[in-house]
Chain A
Amino acid sequence: MSGTLPAGQAPDSALGATPRRARAQASAPVAADVALQNGASVHVERVTVRYVGTRPQSRPALDQVEVRIDAGEHVAVVGPSGAGKTTLLHVAAACLRADSGRVLIDGQEPWGLDARRRRQLRGRLFLAPQVPPLPPRQRVVTAVLAGRLPAMSLAGSVRSLLYPLGIGAARRALAPFDLAERMFDRVDRLSGGERQRVNLARALLAPARLWLLDEPLSALDPVRAARALQAMRQEATRRGVTLIVSMHQVEMALASFPRVIGLRDGSVRFDVPASQISSGQLSALYAQAQGEVPPDAQPDGQPPEEAGPGELPMVWR
């Protein structure tokens, strides 16, 4: 279940500072055929991420986190606010450079590649941030079709701006989320929940084999949330895509995902099949100081904020 390192590769845990220039570290892909046909694998190896400008003694955003997710797996990441779920997803999506440790996506280390190859590697994944990243004045159809951009040429994407290419595909992607009729509306005419669903529909059009969804259900009511999650899981299974979802709805996570990772205060508390989780582990994960509201009673429509003490060193290219 948990993947092994590719043959001939010594565990490089002594890797201190991340490589600055293209250090030709592109290692051989893990079990090539499986990865290429199905999903992409993600190996997070002893990764530590610190907030920008904090002292070494203060708590890091991620502390020696070790996670191995193989091609085609469906994993839920749960934990209280500020646990580091978003940070973990961003590290796995190569948007965040770890201060120590390394990440392997499909057996390749993104920070050892040059910018162009890193962009190609990124083309294999899809990250849905917590706040739907849709330009307010753009139409839903264009916003959704933007998911296909990694596979489109520059000329094709310019043409698609004048007349959207693939309206049918956009409709098919929006249908599972009951948004097909809103296809030609502007994004700023949609509610928060509808925008979140559009963001998910984008994943269905992306040529990605790894889906990283950050709190994708936070603005949805329970019925819609369940339907959206089911739609994503069905598609992921059908395509063999690796699915990693961070969420607050613990019950739904346990019911829908075969494997659950619990994060708290930047470290992994448990990483087990859903069937083997005990309620003791769960309450320990979400244990609050006395008198605070337990997480299941959180009101919907309020995306919970990551209460981190500072900024994270995000990297775009």
Chain B
Amino acid sequence: MSLHDSDPRLAHLPTRLIELRARAGLVVLGALALAVASFWSLDLQWSVLWSDEATKAMGKFAAEFFPPDLSPPFARKVALATAETLAMSALGTVLAAMFGLLLALPAARTHASALVRIPTRLLLNALRAVPELVWASLMLIAAGLGPMAGTLALTLHTTGVLGRLFAEAIENAPPGPAFALSAQGVRPAQVLLYATLPQIAPQLLSYTLYRWENNIRAAAILGVVGAGGLGQLLSYHLELFQMARTATVLLATLALVLAVDGASYIARRAMTR
């Protein structure tokens, strides 16, 4: 069936390598075919980018960004939006950690029967599958415009992510302490609190901090659909073609993302000390 059997000249070469190369070749061909089909069917406006007026328009567009609007009243607005975005990401992540932990116990193979585990895993997957922006659009209907919709959206999506990560951490925790307590007839919830969590707490915290890095980026853009924060400011001023103010908002966004990335990195390093 394999190439190796058919061609005697290949007999001295390792079979697996040939099969691997053949498979890799097929995959690359398939990927190329998909890529070509994509470009062809999308009718992309490349000419728009390379044409003369386009380049001039882009140049003008880029020039309008400088200098960014740093007047005190606007700077205050941006600062407030930054704080709002930071709060959204922080609160969303914290709530998601709580709910994720609550759902991780019924989702862990070591603590729950299949009857409980499978629906919980499905729920977590569903929460995870829907992107934050889509959740935000849905939450706007229930919670109205503003940062609460964004916080809820982040909470829902991140609960799915953290719930699954936490469940895996629970399953992979060293079983000794939990086994000894179970042998004594301790209730599963107490076993979790006294044996499993103390062992995996640093890992859970690390996952949460890492998710915060992702959530600050998400929080910054949820405002585009109306969920508050820097995103709302950005889309507002962009639509009015106020490029200088847009530039300020962009700078604030970049600074915020880098700051949270740094804080999360430092915190995670401090934990492993």
Contacts and interface: CB of A to CB of B under 8 A. Distances in A.
Interface of A: 93-95, 119-129, 131, 133-138, 142, 146-147, 149-150, 152, 154, 157-158, 161, 206, 208, 314, 316-317
Contact of B183 (A95, A131, A137, A146): A95
Interface in B36-54: none
A149 B199 contact: no
Contacts of A136: 199
Interface in B189-205: 189-190, 193-195, 198-199, 201-202
Nearest to A93: B183
19 contacts: A95-B179, A122-B182, A122-B184, A127-B180, A129-B180, A133-B176, A133-B180, A134-B177, A135-B198, A136-B199, A137-B202, A149-B184, A150-B186, A154-B187, A154-B190, A157-B194, A158-B193, A316-B179, A317-B182
A316 B182 contact: yes
Nearest to B191: A149
A157 B190 contact: yes
A313 to B, nearest CB: 14
Given A133-B179, A146-B194, A152-B190, A206 B184 contact: yes
A284 to B, nearest CB: 33
B8 interface: no
Contacts of A137: 198-199, 201-202
B79 to A, nearest CB: 37
A303 to B, nearest CB: 13
A166 B193 CA distance: 18
B95 interface: no
A190 B110 CA distance: 29
Interface residues of B, number: 22
Contact of B184 (A134, A142, A147, A317): A147
A116 to B, nearest CB: 10
A121 B185 CA distance: 7
A211 B201 CA distance: 31
Contacts of B110: 316
B199 A135 contact: yes
The secondary-structure label for the interface of chain B is helix
A208 B182 contact: no
Q: Sorted from nearest, which 4 A-B pairs have the closest CB atoms? A: A122-B185, A123-B185, A133-B180, A135-B198
Residue with the highest number of chain B CB atoms closer than 10 Å, among A129, A133, A158, A206: A133
Contacts of B198: 135, 137-138, 142
A149 B176 CA distance: 17
A162 B195 CA distance: 15
Contacts of B190: 149, 152, 154, 157
Contacts of B183: 93-95, 122, 125, 127, 316
Given A137-B201, A154-B189, A149 B194 contact: yes
B181 A149 contact: yes
Contacts of A134: 177
B106 to A, nearest CB: 15
Interface string B154-188: 00000000000000000000001111111111110
A65 B198 CA distance: 38
Interface string B101-137: 0000000001000000000000000000000000000
A95 B175 CA distance: 13
Given A125-B185, A150-B184, 20 more contacts: A94-B183, A95-B179, A120-B185, A121-B185, A122-B182, A122-B183, A123-B186, A124-B185, A126-B184, A128-B180, A129-B180, A131-B176, A133-B181, A135-B194, A135-B195, A135-B198, A149-B184, A157-B190, A157-B193, A316-B182
